Every structure is written in structure tokens, then in C-alpha cells.
Structure 1
Amino acid sequence: MGRRASKLPQLATILFAVLLVLPSAAVAKAIDATNTQRLELPDGLIGPESVAFDRHGAGPYVSISDGRVLKYAGEGAGWTTFAYSPSYTKNDCGVTSELPAVARESSCGRPLGLRFHNNSGNLYIADAYMGLMRVGPNGGEATVLATEAGGAPLRFTNGVDVDQVTGDVYFTDSSTTYTRAQHQMVTSSGDSTGRIMRYNRRTNKVTVLQSGVTYPNGIAISADRSHLIVALTGPCKLMRYWIRGPKAGTSELFTDLQGYPDNVRPDGKGGYWVALHREKYELPFGKDSHLVAIRIGSQGEKLQEMTGPKDVRPTEVVEREDGKIYLGSVELSYVSIVKSS
């Protein structure tokens, strides 16, 4: 007994050392988004909310506040108009106006989520006011695919993702009560009228997968295509909705977050980058740095953080194979590019 007891302090020391090492091994070094390269939008334009790249790697394509989707054609060529809604043309939204963009959103549209279907080259657009839209590889005026689901109008169409195998499109309607212009009310009122939907490109029909959701925003299909990860902005959570397997048609908590999430994008490694518009308990004073994004693993574990100045409140984080990370923002006049290492 005496010999066994003498080894206990040593075992305790080893165990304590292992516990100290494990967390640091599981979480990668934080990324600093303080000094970034900027792709400035043309003068007077703001709000590159979503960032996408086509099947050839061209882009980025961004959804902006005046109702258009722009494409970055490279240094020198700059930004060109790629897509717009039928209402943009009908209401002469290309004409200079003294009204701020937010006052024209309901008539000109406000594209938010963007995702390409690689096989067809089609770009799917979740427009907050116009509904779910699609435009071909050459761009131009988009086709409106859906303005209602389950007998209720799409009032705040927000996030979108595409199953690259079937071509089915998954998207969110953040509220059936409030529009995007009233987005603060969705959070402050605890509105739980949001919905998760699927558009079947073969039948052109929309199915409501789940209703009564609290502020569903960004959405991403998992690498194995078995489930969706949905950002719940007000609750500061990620939800998992099963689309295949024994749990199909059910949802569950995926993970809690330290801030208010916007879009969710696959990180190319089985996990997800989640843009955080602001931290849950963020103070206006103190150090000019806050959590702007977090990388979450396939089981909901925290893998990596990204920090940046408090005036940077990203709405989408997209990591490319070359290690560059693109940040979209609903408030700023540029797309940020950060190096992952």
C-alpha cells in the first residue's frame, strides 16, 4: 500500500499536465484581422454582405445595398454589375437618387446570401425583399423562384446554400412578422416566426422544413450532406437540422456562441466559419478589439477564433484554398482579405 500511495502524486502531476496541453492542442492560433487587404467597392456603395466564388474560382461576387450583385474582375478592371432583380430594372434603381439605399430596399431589393451551383454555374440569391432568385453563369436579370412558402410570404429571405449533388437549395426566412428594415425588432422582440426551407430545382417547389425558428440567418449544408447548420442570430446559437438519416426532420442545438452569428460557411475541412456581427457582452469602451468570427468543428467544438477592430462587424467569412479569408460586411464599403496563417 505504501508503494502505491507514493506514486499518486506523480500520476496526478502527469494528468494535470495532460489536461493543460489538450485545450491548446485542440484550438488553433487566433487570427488577427486588424491589418487586412481591402477590395474597395465603387464610390458610394456599401454592404458587401455575402461573398461567393464561381466554379472557376472567379470573384469574389458580393451582394450590396443598392440591390445588385457585383463581381470583382481583378486589379485594374475592378467591380462590374453581375446580377439584379426584375424590380431593380422596373423601378429604375440604376438612376442616381438622393434617398439612402435602405429607403429603396423594398423597391430595388436587398440581396443577402449568395451561393453557386457548380455544375450549372447558376447563382442563387436570397433577396430580403424579392425572395429566392437565380441567375445564370453570365449574369443579368435574375429570375424570381419563390416569394412564398407554405401559404405565407417570404418577408425576410436571408441565408442560402446549395446541395452540390442534388442541386436542391436550402434557405432561410428570418421572420414572417418583420422585414429586413426591422431586423433589430426580430432580436429585441424574441420573434420566433422564422423558417427553414428547401427549393427543389426539379419540381420548382418550396417545402417548409421547420417553422417557429428564432431568427434563422445563415445556413450551410454539412460535408456529408446529412444535415444543415443554421445560425440563430438572436439566441447566439448554431442549430443542426437533419435532412437525411434516422433523425431526418428533427433539429437540435449544435453549439452556443460568444456573439451574434450571421452567415455560416464550410471551412473546407469538415467544419464551419461563423461570422459574428458583435460579441454577446461587448462593451463600447476598452480595448479596440473584439471577436469577429469563430471556426467550429464538425461536432460543434471551437477550433479557432478571429479578432479585429470593433468597427469591423463581418457578416460572412469565406476561406479559400490559397489560405486567404474573405470577410463580407453589411456596413462597410469594402471586402477584407485576411491571411489564415
Structure 2
Amino acid sequence: MRVAPGGGEATVLVNQVDGYPLRFTNGVDVDQVTGKVYFTDSSMNYQRSQHEMVTRTGDSTGRLMSYDPRTSDVTLLQAGMTYPNGVALSADRTHLVVASTGPCKLLRHWIKGVNAGTSEPFADLPGYPDNVRPDTKGGYWVALHREKNELPFGPDSHRLAVRVGNDGNIVEEMRGPKKVRPTEIMERSNGKIYLGSVELPYVGVVKRK
């Protein structure tokens, strides 16, 4: 959907791809040069309210797609994905980085160059990723809903997010209380990092020292 800068009723842009309805539309990023929209549909079998089933069943019906606002064309970039979630366009606009929640990984899907149309592993993560956003250094911030094998007892601290360099290596992590489970993280040029969660009624703001 698209919402005008001043708000108002949203306009539906896409509700099906190749004859199959969007059931669990999830991550989105926009190419600020072309206006092209990249987005994921996490599952063709389950809806947002059934998100835990996507992980439990190992569902691999997720899709990565693009929408061109100039032509209204929708292109299926990749099918058969395991819980594709957040998506981010690289700084050089040659590839997309996609969070694969169940496997706790990041994937790289090439959209330009000799590898265009192919995907490859990009990073292994210490937890279940949600949204992915560019940092200010050519890498990415990844919100982690929770860590792998996280226990309810023990120290009240877990990874909230990690920053991944453009080579796929983790270069920074952010920790906080276990009750905080981010679904969104974004770094701005003012040095502030914003954290959001579908489980909390506020946005957290972290300022670098």
C-alpha cells in the first residue's frame, strides 16, 4: 500500500503476484533513485497472526518481489524462500539483503551485474532477525526478535540487534532487557539509532557516545 505524505486513505498497489494472493507481506525497501519497491511475502500458507507456524513447520514458500511505480509491473525475483522477512537495498544498489528469520541468516540477492537474479548466503546471525536497515557505513543493522536457544532465566540481557558489515561479518551488537524484542532498527545521520517493536507502545532512541 501507499500512503500520501499528508496521510489519508491508503492506496493498494499489489494484492497478488502471478495469480497467488499476498498472505504475509512483510519487509519493504524503496530505491530512492528509481522509486522501485522491493518487498517480501513471508509465506503463501500462513498469515501474520500465524507467524510462529512459519518457523515451526520450516515453511519455504516465501517470495521476494519488486514493484515498479512507473509501470505498475510486479516482478517475482525469487520464490521458495524460508521465512523471508526484512529487506534492504545495498548502498551501491547492486543487491538486496534479505533476513531469513527461521534459519537465522541474511541472504544476498543480486539485482545487477553478472550475478543478477541469483542469491547467496550473506551472514549467519546469533538470533532470529526481523527488519534490516542500512547503517551509515555501507553495512546493515539487523533487529533480533530473540536469540537462538534463549532461556527465560539467567541474566536479564540479550542481543537486541547486530550491525553487519558489507562483507557479512558482525561488527557491532546492541544488548538490552529480554522483555525488549525489536522488530525494527534504523540509524540516522544525527548519530541516533531508533528501535521499534510490535510488542511495545513506544519507540526507543539510542544515542552513540
TM-score over 0.5 for the pair: yes
What aligned pairs does 1:223-238 form with structure 2 within 5 A after superposition? Answer: 223-238=91-106
Structure 2 match to 1:140: 8
Could you list the per-position Cα deviations for residues 54-103 of structure 1 after superposition, in whole angstroms to 9, with x for gaps in the alignment? xxxxxxxxxxxxxxxxxxxxxxxxxxxxxxxxxxxxxxxxxxxxxxxxxx
4+ runs deviating over 6 angstroms: none
What aligned pairs does 1:1-341 form with structure 2 within 5 A after superposition? Answer: 133-341=1-209
Could you list the per-position Cα deviations for residues 279-309 of structure 1 after superposition, in whole angstroms to 9, with x for gaps in the alignment? 0121110000001100000110111000000
Inter-partner Cα distance in structure 2 for 1:245 and 1:178: 34
Inter-partner Cα distance in structure 2 for 1:147 and 1:340: 40
Inter-partner Cα distance in structure 1 for 2:18 and 2:86: 21
User: What is the CA distance between 1:321 and its match in structure 2?
Assistant: 1.3
Inter-partner Cα distance in structure 2 for 1:218 and 1:266: 11
Aligned residue type for 2:74 = V
Could you list the per-position Cα deviations for residues 1-28 of structure 1 after superposition, in whole angstroms to 9, with x for gaps in the alignment? xxxxxxxxxxxxxxxxxxxxxxxxxxxx
Could you list the per-position Cα deviations for residues 97-147 of structure 1 after superposition, in whole angstroms to 9, with x for gaps in the alignment? xxxxxxxxxxxxxxxxxxxxxxxxxxxxxxxxxxxx011221111100000
Which structure would you say has the larger Rg? 1
User: What is the CA distance between 1:333 and its match in structure 2?
Assistant: 1.1
Identity %: 70
Inter-partner Cα distance in structure 2 for 1:223 and 1:321: 15
User: What is the CA distance between 1:228 and its match in structure 2?
Assistant: 0.1
Inter-partner Cα distance in structure 2 for 1:322 and 1:164: 20
SS at match of 1:337: strand
Structure 2 match to 1:78: none
Q: TM-score, normalised by structure 2?
A: 0.99
Inter-partner Cα distance in structure 1 for 2:65 and 2:19: 13
Inter-partner Cα distance in structure 1 for 2:208 and 2:112: 33
SS at match of 1:239: strand
Figure out how many residues of one structure are paired with residues of the other and give that number: 209
What are structure 2's unaligned runs of at least 5 residues?
A: none
User: What is the CA distance between 1:320 and its match in structure 2?
Assistant: 1.2
Could you list the per-position Cα deviations for residues 204-246 of structure 1 after superposition, in whole angstroms to 9, with x for gaps in the alignment? 0111100000000000000000000000000000000000000
Q: TM-score, normalised by structure 1?
A: 0.61
Inter-partner Cα distance in structure 2 for 1:296 and 1:337: 20
User: What is the CA distance between 1:186 and its match in structure 2?
Assistant: 0.2
Aligned residue type for 1:274 = V
Aligned residue type for 1:337 = V
User: What is the CA distance between 1:340 and its match in structure 2?
Assistant: 2.2
Aligned residue type for 2:43 = S
Could you list the per-position Cα deviations for residues 230-287 of structure 1 after superposition, in whole angstroms to 9, with x for gaps in the alignment? 0000000000000000000000000100000000000021000000000012111000
SS at match of 2:51: helix
Tell me which moved more, 135-144 or 175-184. Answer: 135-144
Inter-partner Cα distance in structure 2 for 1:143 and 1:164: 20
Inter-partner Cα distance in structure 2 for 1:325 and 1:290: 18
Aligned residue type for 1:209 = L
Inter-partner Cα distance in structure 2 for 1:340 and 1:205: 41
Could you list the per-position Cα deviations for residues 170-202 of structure 1 after superposition, in whole angstroms to 9, with x for gaps in the alignment? 000000000001000000000000000000111
